[in-house]
């Protein structure tokens, strides 16, 4: 059975688009970038750790396959995680304003005897944002719990000038790459 090691409703929604039945493992893992750890390495590590922690929860269940993923916004080599409050969100949005940044989603799939990984790197360009636009977006509340302080699938999409890569990856789970991994594990035909 497939298990999603994630609390993200967006990831569950995206995985459901593949037409699969799956269980959800509600894990609470610390996500802290190590000192000197490169942004891309951090995202890959967190995805692996989520999958591994999920596997520990279901390892006694024969045939368990666990999918873990992590998505982060990266600008100038710096990870823009989930902001703690509206002030932090505003600071992030000001830094993203009028610039291009990366969104990296790493996916790890594990079983008791096997592991495989994939990732999607997407380049996103945000139009220049006025202070009024930032204030309106903050008032929407969509920024809460979102890497980089925005949800591309919400009203912030109106501020995206360009997207080169995986839209579903920016949402939190790149479907093409995920489907490829799940085929390797014979979860998808």
CA angle at 151 for the pair 74 and 47, rounded to the nearest 5°: 55
What is the set of domains in the chain, with CATH numbers? 2-184 (3.90.950.10)
CB 55 within 8 A of CB 23: no
Q: 162: pLDDT confidence band, cut at 50, 70 and 90?
A: very high
Can you read off the two tokens belonging to residue 165?
A: 């890569």
Model pTM score:
0.92
pLDDT at 129 over 80: yes
Burial of 24 (C-beta count, 10 Å sphere; 0-12/13-18/19+): middle
What does the pLDDT read at residue 33?
86
Q: What is the pLDDT of residues 133-159, one digit of tens each?
A: 999 999 999 999 899 999 999 999 999
What does the pLDDT read at residue 143?
95
- Catalytic position from the list 70, 84, 85, 87: 70
pLDDT at 130 over 80: yes
Does 28 participate in catalysis according to the annotation? no
What does the pLDDT read at residue 108?
98
């Amino acid at each position: 059975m497939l298990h999603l090691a994630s609390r993200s409703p967006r990831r569950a929604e995206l995985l459901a688009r593949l037409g699969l039945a799956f269980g959800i493992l509600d894990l609470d893992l610390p996500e802290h970038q190590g000192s000197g750890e490169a942004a891309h390495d951090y995202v890959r590590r967190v995805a692996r750790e989520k999958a591994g922690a999920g596997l520990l929860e279901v390892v006694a269940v024969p045939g368990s396959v666990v999918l873990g993923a992590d998505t982060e916004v990266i600008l100038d080599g710096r990870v823009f995680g989930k902001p703690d409050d509206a002030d932090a969100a505003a600071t992030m949005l000001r830094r993203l304003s009028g610039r291009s940044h990366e969104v990296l989603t790493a996916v790890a799939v594990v079983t008791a005897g096997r592991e495989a990984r994939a990732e999607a790197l997407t380049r996103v360009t945000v139009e220049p944002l006025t202070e009024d636009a930032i204030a309106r977006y903050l008032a929407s509340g969509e920024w809460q719990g979102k890497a980089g302080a925005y949800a591309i699938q919400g009203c912030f999409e109106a501020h995206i000038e360009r997207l080169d890569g995986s839209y579903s990856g920016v949402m939190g789970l790149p479907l093409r790459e995920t489907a490829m991994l799940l085929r390797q594990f014979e979860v998808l035909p």
